[in-house]
Amino acid sequence: MRIGLCQLNPIAGDVAGNVARLKQTVEKTAEQNPDLLVFPELFIQGYPPRDLLENGWFVKNALDGLDDLCRFSEYFPETGILVGITLPDTLRNGRGLYNSAVLIHNGRVVFHQNKSLLPTYDVFDEHRYFDPAHDTAVFPFKDEILGITICEDAWNEESLWDKPLYEIDPVSVLAAKGATLLVNISASPFHVGKQNLRCDIVEKHSRKHALPFVFVNQTGGMDELVFDGASMYFDGSGNLCAILPQFSEDVQIIDTCESMTPIVRPRMDAVGNVFDALVVGVRDYMAKCGFKKALIGLSGGIDSAVVAAIACAAVGPENVLGITMPSRFSSDGSVKDSLDLAANLKMKCEQLPIEATFTTYLDSLAPLFEGRAPDLAEENLQARIRGTMLMAMSNKFGHLLLTTGNKSEMAVGYCTLYGDMNGGLAVIADCFKTLVYRIAAHINRNGEIIPRNIIEKAPSAELRADQKDQDSLPPYDDLDAILSMLLEEGLSSADIVERGHQRDTVAWVVKAVRLNEYKRRQGAPVLKISRKAFGVGRRYPIAAKYLW
C-alpha cells in the first residue's frame, strides 16, 4: 500500500483553514497515486482545541468540515484519507464526545475508531472532554487490514514502564484481531528526549507483533506546546525505514509492498533541539496570534541575548526590536553589549534611559518611604518602569513583547511581577540558567553572535550597586540541580539532601519555590521543552502550607 505520512501544522479552532490545508495536500500528492493519506490527531480542529470543545457550534463546524471533505474525496476515488476529528457520542452517560480517527473514501466515512486511552496528566486533560472508546476494531482497506490508534493508545507498551497507566493495550488488541498494518495518528508535544522515547515505543510494537507501523505526528507551535513531528515508518521486522524531519511540515509517500532499506535513528542534539523548538514556538505563536514583529528588553545579560537570537531566527532580525533601558546602576558595558549583540544579529536596538522616571518615582514616594532604608521596593521600581515602557511600545506599535526570564529565576521568584515578567510569551522560562548558557554556545557554534562578554560576565539584575545574582541565589549549578530534582523528578527535600546537597540550601530553594507560586500563576505562557514546565501542566495551590 502506498501511504502518505502528512506531517502538517494546523491552527487550533481554524476548521476551514485546516480542511483547506488537507485538501491542498491531497491535490499535491495525487500524481503519486497514494492509497492512503494519514493526517495527525484532531487535525480538522487543531490540537489542542481545549474548551472550544465545550461549544456545540464548534463540534458542528468540524462535522460540516468532515462533510466537505467527503464530497471532496469523490474527486480522488482511489485515495483514502485518515484524519483526526471529534465525533458526538450518542450514549446516555458520559461527556458526549469522542476523540476519533475517521477514514474517508470515495465520498463517505467508511470507518471510524475512537480513542481508547485518554491521558489526564501534565498538559493533557482529555477526560475533561472525551469519552473512551467502547470498542476497538480493525478495518479491511484495499490490501491491508488496518489497526488504527490515536496517540496515547500506543503508549501502554508494558515493557517500557514500571507501572503502566492503563489496563489495556489497544495496539495488542488490534494485532490480535488480525491487523496487518498498524497506524497511529498523534499530536505528541515535544520535550527533550521525546523523539527517542517515541521511537522506542513504535519499534517495540512493530517487533512484538511483527507488523509494519505508520506513525504520523503533528508539527508546529500551539500556545505553550511545540510539536516536533518526526513522523516515522517501521517495517514488519521492526526496522526504522523512514523518519520525517523535526519541527517542519513534510509529506512523504512510502510503499509497504516495497523492500525499504533500514535507516539509523537520527542522532539527537538535545540543546539544538531545544533551540529549534523555541524558534518554532515563537514563530508560530506570533503567526497564529497575528503578530508581525517582536519586542525585547535588552539588558546586556545572557537571557535577553538568547531570547533575541531565538526571535531573530524565528521571524527575521528585521522584525525584532530591542530596547535597552539603562538606569543609575547599569554599567556602560551592559549598554555596549546590548548594542553589539543587536549589531551581530542585524536587529534594531533603541536606547530608552529610565533614570529621570526612576528619580520622579523616588521623589513621589519619599514622604511615604521616609525613615526606611532602600530595599527591594526601590530595586523593583526600576524593573516595573522598564516593564511599563516596554508595554507602552508594544501597545503603540503592535509588537509582541517577549519576556526573558529563565526557569531558575521563575522557580524561586527572582523576577519582578509587573516588571520583567511583563509580556505575551515567556520564551525561555522552561530553560534553567545552565541550559541558557548551553543554548548560547549553540547559537555561537559557527561564530560569535552573542558577544563573549555577555557570556563570561557574572549575571546581574543591575538594580543596585555592584549587584550579582549569586548575592541572592545559590550558585546556578547547585540551584539548577536542586530545582531539576524537585520540579522534574518530584523528589522530596530529604531525597535531594541524600544526593549530596546542603540541607540549608535545599530548604531555601523549596521555600522559595512554594512562596512564589503566585508570581508564576500571573506570568506569560511558557514554551514547554521539559517534561514538567511551569504553566498548564503544573497545578499547585497558592494559598497552601506544605513541605516537600
Write out the catalytic residue numbers. Answer: 41, 115, 151
Tell me the β-bridge partners of 80.
Answer: 36, 105
Q: At what angle do helices 302-315 and 270-289 cross, to 10 degrees?
A: 60
DSSP 8-class letter at 218: -
Q: How far apart are CA 369 and CA 525, in angstroms?
A: 35
Contact assessment for residue 433 and residue 459, using Cβ atoms and an 8 Å cutoff: yes
Burial class of residue 91 (count of CB atoms within 10 Å of its CB; 0-12, 13-18, 19+):
exposed
Q: In what order do the strands lie in the sheet with 97-105?
A: 108-114, 97-105, 80-88, 36-38, 2-7, 250-255
Q: How far apart are CA 502 and CA 113, in angstroms?
A: 53
Pairing of strands 240-243, 232-234: antiparallel
Q: How far apart are CA 258 and CA 267, in angstroms?
A: 26
Amino acid at 102: V
Residue 155: partners with Cβ closer than 8 Å, 6 or more residues away:
117, 119, 165, 201
Cβ atoms < 10 Å from Cβ of 276: 20
Q: How far apart are CA 534 and CA 127, in angstroms?
A: 21
The candidate with the shortest Cα–Cα distance to 126, out of 82, 83, 183, 165, is 165
Q: At what angle do helices 376-397 and 355-369 cross, to 10 degrees?
A: 140
Residue count of the chain, please give it. 548
Q: How far apart are CA 133 and CA 190, in angstroms?
A: 26
